[in-house]
Amino acid sequence: IAGITQAPTSQILAAGRRMTLRCTQDMRHNAMYWYRQDLGLGLRLIHYSNTAGTTGKGEVPDGYSVSRANTDDFPLTLASAVPSQTSVYFCASSDGADTQYFGPGTRLTVL
Amino acid sequence: GQQVMQIPQYQHVQEGEDFTTYCNSSTTLSNIQWYKQRPGGHPVFLIQLVKSGEVKKQKRLTFQFGEAKKNSSLHITATQTTDVGTYFCAGKGSARQLTFGSGTQLTVLP
C-alpha cells in the first residue's frame, strides 16, 4: 500500500514552461488537496477537490489549475511557470474525519 | 479570511528540556489538528481536538484546546532528539478547509 505518491520528486524548470505535478492515492479518499510550502509561511492551500468531478480554489490559486477526473488522481498544472512558484508542493488526501495524509512532496525550482 | 498564527517560529532546546508551541486563530474553530514534519519529510498527522477545553496526551506530548476554541498548544516534556522537526497546527473554522499555522521548528541539542 503506497498511500499517496507524487511525481516528480524534484524538477528544475525554465520560466514560461508548462509543468504538471502528479498525485495519486490508493486510499479511496474523496477529498484531495494541493499545498505549497515556503520557508516561514507554512502550508498554503492552492486548490482542493471534495470529490471526483469537483474542484475549488484555495488561498493561493493564481497560476495553477487542477482537475479531478477520478478518485485516485489529482494533477496540478502550472500553465506558464514563474520564479515565484519555486516551492515544495505537497499533495494530500482526507478521510471523513478531516485527517489529512500527505505525499512525499515535489521540490520545484523555476529559473 | 481565517488566520492561524503560531509561535514561536523557531525553538532551540537542550535535550531533556520542555518545549511548548502556541497556536491562535482569528475565528472560532470547530476543530484543530496538529502535524509533525521531520526535516526533509512530509507532514504527519498527530492528533485532532474537537471539544472546548479538551486535553489529550500522547506519551510525552500534551495537546490542549482553549475554552473559546480559538487557541491551542502542544507541550513536549523532556525533549529527545527524535522530537526534532517542525510542528504545525491546523484549524477548521467557518471555511470548510483547514488553515495551517506557519509552524514551529524545534531543534534539540544533545
Q: pLDDT tens for residues B44-67?
A: 999 999 999 999 999 999 999 999
- Cβ atoms < 10 Å from Cβ of A99: 16
- pLDDT score for A93: 96
How close A111 comes to chain B (CA, Å)?
22
A90 touches B: beta carbon within 8 Å: yes
**Looking at the predicted structure, is the pLDDT value of residue A58 above 80?**
yes
Q: How far is CA B46 from the centre of its chain?
A: 9
Mean pLDDT on B85-110: 92
- pLDDT score for A1: 58
Is B6 close to A104, i.e. CB distance below 8 A? Answer: no
**Looking at the predicted structure, is the pLDDT value of residue A97 above 80?**
no
Is B9 close to A103, i.e. CB distance below 8 A? Answer: no
A33 touches B: beta carbon within 8 Å: yes
Tell me, letter by letter, the H, E, C secondary structure of A25-84: ECCCCCEEEEEEEECCCEEEEEEEECCCCCCEECCCCCCEEECCCCCCECCEEECCCCHH
**Looking at the predicted structure, is the pLDDT value of residue B96 above 80?**
no
**Cβ atoms of A59 and A44 closer than 8 Å:** yes
Mean pLDDT on B17-43: 96
Is A97 close to B48, i.e. CB distance below 8 A? Answer: yes
Mean pLDDT on A47-56: 95
Residues of chain A with pLDDT > 70: what percent? 99
Convert the pLDDT of each residue in A11-27 to its tens digit.
Answer: 999 999 999 999 999 99
**Looking at the predicted structure, is the pLDDT value of residue A37 above 90?**
yes
Is B97 close to A44, i.e. CB distance below 8 A? Answer: no
Count interface pairs A-B at CB distance under 8 A.
51
Show residues of chain A in contact with B44, CB under 8 Å.
Answer: 102
Average per-residue pLDDT for chain A: 95
Q: When comparing pLDDT for A86 and A2, which is higher?
A: A86
**Cβ atoms of B56 and B63 closer than 8 Å:** yes
A74 touches B: beta carbon within 8 Å: no
